[in-house]
Amino acid sequence: MAETGHSRSTVAARIDALCRIGVLVPTGEASSTGGRPPATFAFEPSARVVLGVDLGATRARIGLTDLAGRLLVELDELVAIADGPEPVLAWVADTAQALLARAGRTALDLAGVGIGLPGPVDHTTGRPVNPPIMPGWNDVDVPSILAARLGVPVAVDNDANIIALGEQRTIYPDERELLFVKVATGIGAGILMDGELRRGAQGAAGDIGHLSLPGKQDVRCRCGNDGCLEAVASLTSIAAHLSAESGTSVTTDDVVARVRVGDVQANAHVRQAGRDIGLALASAVNLLNPARIVVGGHLALAGDQLIAGIREVVYQRCMPLATARLQIETARAGSSAGIVGAATLVIDRFLSPEAVEGLILSKEA
């Protein structure tokens, strides 16, 4: 009562209401200092579940978490975002039902869906905005389509943003200034400042894959511009270089495999990709002054050459004050970071004071 400033009866009524909606449960009695022992209560994360979806260019990771963000079940499948919104979102809805059954939960237990897309997203509407690698997705009302199928609120964001959020919540909960960089088929970044995601006016913040690099104007990017970082330093770009040099077809999976076994050519290309990415990140470091840069994505997990190349350029080109305590490292949360980050978008809304108040009122109606 002293901490809340409310009377005993008001606090008791609020605790009763929170117990009725299932987010609080009694845990017994505390030690008495005289008179009746006080009852104790705790947050109940299993009251509801949340669906987190991380859609990449060629694969999808999807799972259920509880209200504390703890992963309950997950699935990793090859799903091509270029197939278009209808088949991809139908797959999400069908897989959600299968995961609920697998976890022993029902549709009534689902609090909401969080989903990350590999392109710019207008966060206020959840609609993709001219995404370069998502044909047919521009301005599609993703939240309405999934809400109609699953009957719950849907939050949509860029995939780099959700992975940044998942990495921060899972590994660096006290880090408030963090820049996450995803290096895979494309290149993107998620920006956390003051502990909050920074998305920009139209959701394009962090789209470093389409920054133009000096001296690379002869390289055409799939977005239509020339010299983009993604066209020079992505996993797809490295595969194309190795294919041209060897005269054989080299896939993105081949690149990762070659790096892991110490292939000299593959490692040289990855090191140079790191330097190119470092060039783009150097400006971001001077502008944003993050405390930590976390590099994830399929290529980043293949070895140390990418990180080494990034560090080489960032520490060389940035102001000493900006790099005095800067840490640059490989992502540690694993492939589930995007699922947890997407679920966190929903959890933060579901447990907000306004949403909790709405749940209480609906229960009492």
| Averaged pLDDT, groups of 10, the chain, 365 residues long | 64 76 73 62 86 93 96 95 96 97 96 94 91 91 97 95 95 95 92 93 86 89 89 94 94 93 95 96 94 93 91 95 95 93 94 81 69
Q: In whole angstroms, what is the distance from residue 113 CA to residue 124 CA?
A: 15
Q: In whole angstroms, what is the distance from residue 228 CA to residue 219 CA?
A: 8
For the CA atoms of 189, 255, 220, 180, the dihedral, rounded to the nearest 10 degrees, stands at 10
Pairs from 217-226 (Cβ < 8 Å, separation ≥ 24): 221/132, 222/132, 222/133, 223/132
pLDDT of amino acid 34: 55
Report the relative pairing of strands 49-55 and 110-117 from DSSP bridges. parallel
Q: pTM of the entire structure?
A: 0.87
Region of 101 (left: φ > 0; alpha: ψ -120 to 50; beta: rest) is: alpha
Pairs from 66-70 (Cβ < 8 Å, separation ≥ 24): 67/23, 67/43, 67/111, 67/347, 67/350, 67/351, 68/43, 68/347, 69/169, 69/170, 69/340, 69/343, 69/344, 69/347, 70/45
pLDDT of amino acid 57: 86
pLDDT of amino acid 360: 78
Q: Which domains does the chain have, with CATH numbers?
A: 8-43 (no CATH), 48-163+337-364 (3.30.420.40), 173-330 (3.30.420.40)
**Burial label, 177 (beta-carbon count in 10 A; 0-12, 13-18, 19+):** middle
Given CA atoms 275, 276, 280, 283 in this order, what sign does their dihedral have?
A: positive
